Structures are given as structure tokens and as C-alpha cells.
């Protein structure tokens, strides 16, 4: 890993991204997972267990209705959890056999590097998502009483207020997801790979999305759909989906960003 002084404000050159680029990155991501499955299962398992703990806590606290906004917003923090997967792919790309010591050492070192700021941004957006879900619920369904998940589903799918809640909540959720995807899809692996500031990394990520809107947003839709579907059977599917998406994101970053400056 580069340990030189941060190159603040110098933007790297970004390459055109096509559907073929994403397919190739996905193919390599699957290959990385197959080559080092134990790391993928470990980090995917952490993500899945974290989700189950949150759902269990909501059940104990009697806030089962929050399960749905949590389940929808939980993939937002996936890129940060995948930091270890980026390091595994980085090492294998250099023909280095990943070890637990080498991978976890780099992951723990990120708390003293710029990736910590991206973690803050990711968690902040997740918090905003949860806050707006509660706010919209109070605005549209504040007078409706529901203590169970079936009662909540009935309220939001069979009443005008509930349908309005779904429409507005979906729009707000899409905007938050688009923002976080744009600032993180390239910046997360980039901060693992280079000693740069997080603002430069975010700008580079946004530039990549803006310059290649169709393939990049298409990839964002694929990531979202796979993550949501993988969480349906009690988060078990995420154990396999997260590592593949994490490794793929690394290779997408490597294809999108040159070592040279723009």
C-alpha cells in the first residue's frame, strides 16, 4: 500500500465504463471469491450477523415496523463492511496470498486513515434514512396505530395515507441511495488503495458516475436488487452476495481509475 504523503486535490484520470467493463469486473469478482472463499464468508457473515442483531433488537424493543426501513437501508453500509474484501482482491491482484494477519492489519489501520471519514458519511446517510422514515411515518400515518408487522403492512398498502407514505418514502430513499452510491462506489476501494484525502476520492467517484451514467447506475440497480433479495431469507443470502459484490467493486475501481492524474 502506498504510504507516501497524501496527494490532496490532484484528481486521477478516469476511464470510460461500459457494460462489458462491469461484466468483466463481475467475472473477476466471482473469481476472487472462489479463490479465497473463507475471507468472503467471514466478512459476509459479519454483515449478516449484524443485520440479525439489529432485527432482534427491534423485535425486543417492540418496534417491528422499523424492520422494513432497516432492511431497505441496511445495504447502504455494505461498501464500508466490504473494506476487507477490497484488500483481499488487492493482494491477489499483486500475486500475494492473503493471510488473516495481512488483511485484518490493513482493515484495522483504516481507522487512522481517510476511510474512517467515508464510514462516517455512510453511517450518517443511513441515520438520515431512518430519521426520514420515522418523520414520514408521523406525517402520513401519525394517527394510525399498529403494533405488529401485518398491521403495519395493512396500513401502508390499503390506505391513501399509507400509499402516499410509500411513494414519498421511495423517492427520498432513491435520492439518498443515489447520492451514497455516487460518492462511495469508487472512493471506498480507492481509499484502501491510495494515500489520498476522502474528498478527492469522493469527487473521483462522482465523476465516474456522471461520465458513465447508464452503466454505473445500471450497476447500482443490480447491487441494490441483489442486496435486498439476499436479505430476504434472514440475511443468509448476503453471506454470498456481499463478498462477490465487494470483490467486483474493487475490479470496477481498478478499471475506472488510472494511476495518472487528470
What confidence tens digit (pLDDT) does each residue in 174-201 have?
A: 888 889 899 989 998 998 888 888 899 9
pTM: 0.82
Q: Which of 209, 201, 141 is nearest to 177 (CA)?
A: 209
Q: How many residues does the chain have?
A: 262
Instruction: Report, as an integer, the average pLDDT of 222-247.
Output: 83
- The pLDDT tens digits of the residues spanning 32-48 come to 999 999 999 998 888 88
- Cα torsion 199, 200, 203, 209 to 10°: value is -120
φ, ψ of residue 258 to 5 degrees: the values are: -85, 165
Sequence-ordered strand ranges (E) for 65-149: none
Q: Which of 75, 79, 38, 64 is nearest to 147 (CA)?
A: 64
φ, ψ of residue 87 to 5 degrees: the values are: -65, -40
**pLDDT greater at residue 118 or residue 241:** 241
Q: Is 150 exposed, middle or buried (0-12, 13-18, 19+ CB in 10 A)?
A: exposed
| pLDDT of res. 143 | 66
Instruction: Tell me the pairing of strands 12-14 and 257-261.
Output: antiparallel
Q: Which residues pair with 261 in a beta bridge?
A: 12
Q: Which residues contact 84 (CB under 8 A, 6 or more apart)?
A: 39, 42, 43, 103, 104, 107
Amino acid at each position: 500500500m502506498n504510504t507516501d504523503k497524501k496527494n490532496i486535490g490532484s484528481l486521477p484520470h478516469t476511464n470510460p465504463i461500459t457494460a462489458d467493463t462491469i461484466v468483466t469486473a463481475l467475472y473477476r469478482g466471482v473469481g476472487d471469491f472462489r479463490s479465497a472463499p473463507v475471507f468472503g464468508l467471514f466478512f459476509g457473515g459479519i454483515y449478516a450477523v449484524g443485520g440479525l442483531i439489529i432485527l432482534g433488537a427491534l423485535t425486543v424493543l417492540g418496534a417491528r415496523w422499523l424492520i422494513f426501513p432497516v432492511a431497505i437501508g441496511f445495504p447502504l453500509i455494505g461498501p464500508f463492511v466490504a473494506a476487507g474484501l477490497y484488500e483481499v482482491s488487492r493482494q491477489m491482484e499483486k500475486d500475494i496470498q492473503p493471510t488473516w494477519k495481512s488483511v485484518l492489519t490493513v482493515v484495522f489501520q483504516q481507522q487512522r486513515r481517510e476511510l474512517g471519514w467515508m464510514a462516517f458519511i455512510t453511517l450518517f446517510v443511513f441515520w438520515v434514512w431512518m430519521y426520514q422514515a420515522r418523520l414520514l411515518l408521523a406525517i402520513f400515518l401519525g394517527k394510525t396505530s399498529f403494533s405488529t408487522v401485518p398491521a403495519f403492512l395493512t396500513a401502508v398498502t390499503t390506505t391513501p395515507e399509507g400509499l402516499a407514505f410509500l411513494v414519498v418514502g421511495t423517492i427520498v430513499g432513491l435520492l439518498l441511495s443515489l447520492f451514497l452510491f455516487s460518492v462511495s462506489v469508487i472512493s471506498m476501494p480507492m481509499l484502501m488503495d491510495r494515500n489520498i484525502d476522502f474528498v478527492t476520492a469522493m469527487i473521483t467517484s462522482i465523476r465516474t458516475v456522471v461520465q458513465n451514467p447508464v452503466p454505473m447506475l445500471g450497476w447500482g440497480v443490480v447491487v441494490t436488487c441483489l442486496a435486498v433479495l439476499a436479505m430476504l431469507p434472514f440475511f443468509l443470502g448476503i453471506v454470498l452476495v456481499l463478498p462477490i459484490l465487494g470483490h467486483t467493486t474493487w475490479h470496477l475501481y481498478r478499471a475506472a481509475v488510472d494511476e495518472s492524474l487528470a
